[in-house]
Amino acid sequence: MKDISEVVLPENLRYAESHEWAKDDAGDVKIGISDYAQDQLGDIVFVEVPEVGDTFDKGAEFGTVESVKAVSELYLPIGGEIVAVNPALEESPELVNSDPYGDGWMIALKPENPADLDTMMSSDEYLSKLKG
């Protein structure tokens, strides 16, 4: 596992206590899990995400990530309607390990309340939380 100083936390993203990240992407919001989360999980072998058109409230479980160590639930840091899912994860779930903020994104949604993004942690706040 990585030392906390080695964890990559892009400053242009927002972070949830449950280790998901979110990024405004031209009005939609892309969501995935942080570098810290994927590192803690180990080798990811399966990602379950919802269908396009499904709607969820903020804080709702929207899927699972299965690694060689465990199965972990995924929670939405903001509510809204799913407008895209990452099709590459079906064939290559390991993209979450190799590129959690790029090719390893999980879903995109149209936010119910775009201001919810502003209530999430900055990279510095998230790093402080990880350090405890």
- From CA 38, how far away is CA 33, in angstroms rounded? 7
User: Distance between CA 61 and CA 68 in Å, rounded?
Assistant: 21
pLDDT of residue 61: 98
H or E element, residue 39 = helix 35-41
Count of all residues that appear for the chain in the document? 132
pLDDT of residue 40: 96
Whole-angstrom Cα distance, residue 123 to residue 15? 7
Spell out the per-residue pLDDT of the chain, length 132, in tens: 999 999 999 999 999 999 999 999 999 999 999 999 999 999 999 999 999 999 999 999 999 999 999 999 999 999 999 999 999 999 999 999 999 999 999 999 999 999 999 999 999 999 999 999
- List Cα–Cα distances, 65 to 78, 91, 115, 116, in angstroms: 19, 14, 27, 24
pLDDT for the residue numbered 83: 98
Distant-in-sequence, close-in-space partners of 78: CB < 8 Å, separation ≥ 6: 22, 29, 58, 109, 111, 112, 113, 114, 116, 117, 120
Could you please state the CATH topology (level 3) that the domain comprising 24-114 is classified under: OB fold (Dihydrolipoamide Acetyltransferase, E2P) (2.40.50)
Structure tokens at 127: 């790093």
Q: Specify whether the backbone of 123 is left (phi greater than 0), alpha (psi in -120 to 50) or beta.
A: alpha
